[in-house]
Amino acid sequence: MAEPEDREEKAPAELVSAEGMLEIILAKEDEIKSRVRKAEDGAQRVVEEAKLDTAVVKRKAATAEVGGDLREKEVAKAREEADRVAGEIAERAEQVKKQGAERIEDAVNIVIDAVLPH
């Protein structure tokens, strides 16, 4: 008769443990989402700065008495730099998202293993 009582005592403990793991997973997911948002915000700031720099270069090139070739080269360089920076930021944001997704999957597997009987 002691066996059924032991099983009843273990079942709530396993549920509490699983709930704790789920809370940890949710907290980690929120942390990862926050990091992704920060990375995306940082990326957006860099892109905006690059756009402003490009606009400044365009304005200077348009108002300065420089040859058309030089002006176009500077604008092209600024565009290339803005595109490069935007690409790097997008790549980094994608890496952070991918890393978060991989970690969440591992955490979910841990919870499933803890909850499901073996």
Q: For 51-73, write each residue's pLDDT tens digit.
A: 888 888 877 766 665 566 777 88
The domain spans of the chain are 10-115
Apex CA 96: angle with CA 93 and CA 101, to 5°?
125
What secondary structure letter does DSSP report for 94? Answer: H
How distant is the alpha carbon of residue 77 from its chain centre? 29
Map tokens 């957006």 to a residue: 44
pTM (2 decimals)? 0.41
The answer to whether 58 touches 76, Cβ cutoff 8 Å, is no
81 has pLDDT over 50: yes
Cα-Cα end-to-end distance for the chain: 24
